[in-house]
Amino acid sequence: MDKIINVPYLDQSNAAPTGCESVTAVMLLQYLGVDIGINEFIDKYLDKAPFEQRSGELYGPDPRECFAGDPYDPEAMGCYAPVIKKALERVIGEKYEVIDETGREIDELVEEYIIGEGLPVVLWATINLRPAIDGPNWKLYGSGEDFMWRSNEHCMLLVGTEGDSYVINDPWDNNGVVRCDKSLVRRRHREQYMQAVCLRLLP
């Protein structure tokens, strides 16, 4: 069954060069009628922390806990699903349940949320669906554990399904609303740990 949700599009290029996760979340919020902009979301609701050098080694935050770097910095990294879940809960948690759906197949998410609930899905894949690249690495604050980032990480808003394509609001480089081969999106989604965040209207 084909279905496409018409969601306001936002480009990250000038607003937040590495803030795809936040820009995607704001697209979702604006679709729901929330009066919020990219800067407000990043500055007020997103957890973030910088990198630093310690004795010649790079230390940084856990992207499962906060944004690694600054979304306004073109050299920053990004964040994972739990961080966006927490930020969305701060904005809209009294009206919607925010669900970390990491690990579920995209087609299940389409069926349950896009077709079933009429709600877009915050989805992790890669920039222009290029292969994920291992690295860079850094040591995590607190534990000192080695962490490997998977480069080309990218977050987009899944808004529909049409034949052999997923329909996606892609904030990268003003790409706009794009139709992407389902098998390729699934592959890149797996390379970024099958991360997704969804909403469900509370009763």
Q: Show the tokens assigned to 160.
A: 């529909």
Q: Measured between alpha carbons, how far is 33 from 26 in angstroms, rounded to an integer?
A: 10
Cβ neighbour number for residue 158 with a 10 Å cutoff? 27
Amino acid (1-letter code) at residue 159: V
Q: Measured between alpha carbons, how far is 43 from 111 in angstroms, rounded to an integer?
A: 33
Q: Measured between alpha carbons, how far is 202 from 46 in angstroms, rounded to an integer?
A: 23
H or E segment and range at residue 166: strand 165-170
pLDDT tens, per residue, the chain with 203 residues: 999 999 999 999 999 999 999 999 999 999 999 999 999 999 999 999 999 999 999 999 999 999 999 999 999 999 999 999 999 999 999 999 999 999 999 999 999 999 999 999 999 999 999 999 999 999 999 999 999 999 999 999 999 999 999 999 999 999 999 999 999 999 999 999 999 999 999 99
Q: State the sign of the Cα–Cα–Cα–Cα dihedral 149, 153, 156, 158.
A: negative
pLDDT at 133: 98
Phi-psi region of 135 (alpha: psi -120 to 50; beta: other; left: phi over 0): left
Residue whose token pair is 């930020």: 87
Q: Show the tokens assigned to 97.
A: 């349940």
pTM strictly above 0.95: yes
